[in-house]
Amino acid sequence: MKFQPCVSVPLILEYQQTLTQKRSNLGLTEAEIETVLDYLCLISHQQRIFYLWRPLLRDSKDDMVLELAVAAECEHIVTYNSRDFRGTERFGISIVTPLELLKTIGEIR
């Protein structure tokens, strides 16, 4: 496997809330959302988080992602929102876009 997604309970709950709120725009049924989330949980490393050191970033939801990345010892956080993750380099975590990740793992040039 070229990369391993990581999830936590708070992150999955956030995904569920966001997908449910945007369900009609996405054209997904509630059952389809559950199927996507179940699959994400199946293929991902499920990381427990035992500490909170918030706030560090501007958005508490971004702090939740950073806590997961630190606890799971991730190399990267993949996001289009790099501006809100300033300061993560002190944890040895780089912020990359999906395109940058695909280049890093050799899927595209």
The pLDDT tens digits for 5-51 are: 999 999 999 999 999 999 999 999 999 999 999 999 999 999 998 87
Residue with tokens 């991902």: 44
Contact predicate 44/7, CB 8 Å: yes
**76-78 and 94-96 as β-strands: parallel, antiparallel, unpaired?**
parallel
Please give the torsion angle defined by the CA atoms of residues 88, 94, 99 and 103, in that order, rounded to the nearest 10 degrees: 180
End-to-end CA separation in angstroms for the chain:
18
CA gap 39, 58 in Å, rounded? 30
CA gap 78, 6 in Å, rounded? 11
Each residue of 42-83: pLDDT tens digit?
Answer: 999 999 988 777 778 888 889 999 999 999 999 999 999 999
pTM score: 0.87
CA gap 31, 33 in Å, rounded? 5
Cross-strand bridge partners of residue 6: 45
